[in-house]
Amino acid sequence: MNSVDPTTGEIIATYTETTAEEVARHLETAGRLQKEWARTPLGVRREHMLRLADILENRREELADLMAREMGKPVTQGRAEADKCAWVCRYYADEAEAILADEHIEAGRTKSYVAYRPLGVILAVMPWNFPLWQVMRFAAPALMAGNGGVLKHASNVTGCALAIDEMIVDAGFPDGLFRTLVISSSRVAGVIESHEIVAATLTGSDLAGRAVAAKAGTELKKTVLELGGSDGYLILEDADLDLAVRACTTGRLLNGGQSCIAAKRFIVHEAVVEEFTGRLVEAMESYQMGNPLDEDTEIGPMARVDLRDELHDQVRRSVDAGATLVTGGVVPDGPGAFYPPTVLTNVTRSMPVYHEETFGPVASVITVANEEDAIAVANDSVFGLGGAVFTRDLARGERIARDEIEAGSCFVNAFVASDPRLPFGGIKTSGYGRELSHVGMREFLNAKTVVVN
């Protein structure tokens, strides 16, 4: 398996695929160690998790450089990703005792309660866009809960996957309790079949999610899926446009727009659409595109050339269907998977950028006449991951966010972001189950009823 620098197109590393015999051995080791780990005192697990947080912070420069070279993330954002991973480690180190505590319930018996117990070894199938964060937001709660894990990471970020393995061992966790399998997607089904695997979690496309869910279903193994998104951001007639433009631009261009919860469809009231669009274009054009290793770069290349070309095809087909290309939309000359910040207006539901997920720096502006239409457009999607509402009337914004938007998360006057303290996940074809917070930790626990008479 090759790791290709998306800035230059050069191969930067080649990795040998894990053999079937090695996979079997890793799974057996993880299963054996997990049984011992489940009996390890919570205080000991906490010490290792806090050490892992320190290691992530100490290696942040190295990790940021690795992410820049493997998938094009600007180093400034890579450092922030490493720090966020340290945050989730510390969160679960500090909160696990309360989350895992027995829940006593009065049921007319001498004693009755729910005991939250680990399940076993969990398979994690993870994407390339946040190569550290996606893994650590699963690994931190899983390991603190007493579970083990095996990771099938995206092949273009194998270096990041192996770095995670190394850091977990360096933090003092048993060597083999968590292990990366360098395998192709076609071999995931075989791993799910293993009796050592009790459940699976996947972050990725709805196509990949369907495949994993189907296979896990035949094996009667639980899954948690965080899939695609086409988040609608409602900019109402009373929105603070300065705030809205800042949040929408950041929400669209963070990580080069390569995020399931990136702002993608801007649903704008007709009274402010002209002013909002003008400011949005100016803000998008101000972003510095370049080598992700440069400190001034705000948007690097996309992760792969084929992904860049797919995005450009979505833009081209939408323009052919009547969308107006206001800025961007031209593939730059030269090497690398670069694509400029792009804004399309006059977007209607007949266009790819209305219905399909645009996984890159493309903003689609959809004009609506009123609040009712804005809500209808936001919900006119197969996806249901996130959304946002911009209005000066906080009660109005909260009502729309809470009761009207069909999504796993909806923010008022801010772009959607994950936080270790809050549940994260989607509905509809954006998946099911939750990660993060106490809700996410309990997804892979046995809520065991214990009654003493």
Provide the pLDDT confidence category of residue 81 given band limits of 50, 70 and 90.
very high
Q: Does residue 1 surpass a pLDDT of 90?
A: no
* String of DSSP letters for 114-142: EEEEE--EEEEE--SSSTTHHHHHHHHHH
Provide the pLDDT confidence category of residue 418 given band limits of 50, 70 and 90.
very high
282 has catalytic annotation? no
pLDDT of residue 282: 98
| Mean predicted confidence (pLDDT) in 196-208 | 97
Say which CATH superfamily domain 2-227+430-452 falls into: Aldehyde Dehydrogenase; Chain A, domain 1 (3.40.605.10)
What residue ranges do the domains of the chain occupy? 2-227+430-452, 231-419
Question: Cβ distance 38 to 446 under 8 Å?
Answer: no
pLDDT tens, residue by residue, 307-351:
999 999 999 999 999 999 999 999 999 999 999 999 999 999 999
pLDDT of residue 274: 98
| Mean predicted confidence (pLDDT) in 205-228 | 97
- Both structure tokens of 34: 């997990």
| Mean predicted confidence (pLDDT) in 414-437 | 98
What type of residue is 80?
A: A
Q: Does residue 169 surpass a pLDDT of 90?
A: yes
Round to the nearest angstrom and report the end-to-end CA distance of the chain: 58
Check 85, 89, 160, 260 and give the catalytic one: 260
248 has catalytic annotation? no
Q: How far apart are CA 231 and CA 22, in angstroms?
A: 41
pLDDT tens, residue by residue, 125-153:
999 999 999 999 999 999 999 999 999 99
Fold of 231-419: Aldehyde Dehydrogenase; Chain A, domain 2 (3.40.309)
pTM above 0.95, yes or no: yes
pLDDT tens, residue by residue, 370-385:
999 999 999 999 999 9
Check 226, 357, 404, 443 and give the catalytic one: 226
* 25-63 b/e (C-beta count within 10 Å ≥ 16 → b): ebbebbbbbbeebbeeeeeebbebbbbbbebbbebbeeb
- Give the residue from 227, 226, 254, 221 showing the smallest Cα distance to 360: 254
| Mean predicted confidence (pLDDT) in 177-196 | 98
Q: Express as a percent the part of the chain with pLDDT over 90.
A: 100
Residue 165: count of CB within 10 angstroms of its CB? 17
| Mean predicted confidence (pLDDT) in 78-106 | 98
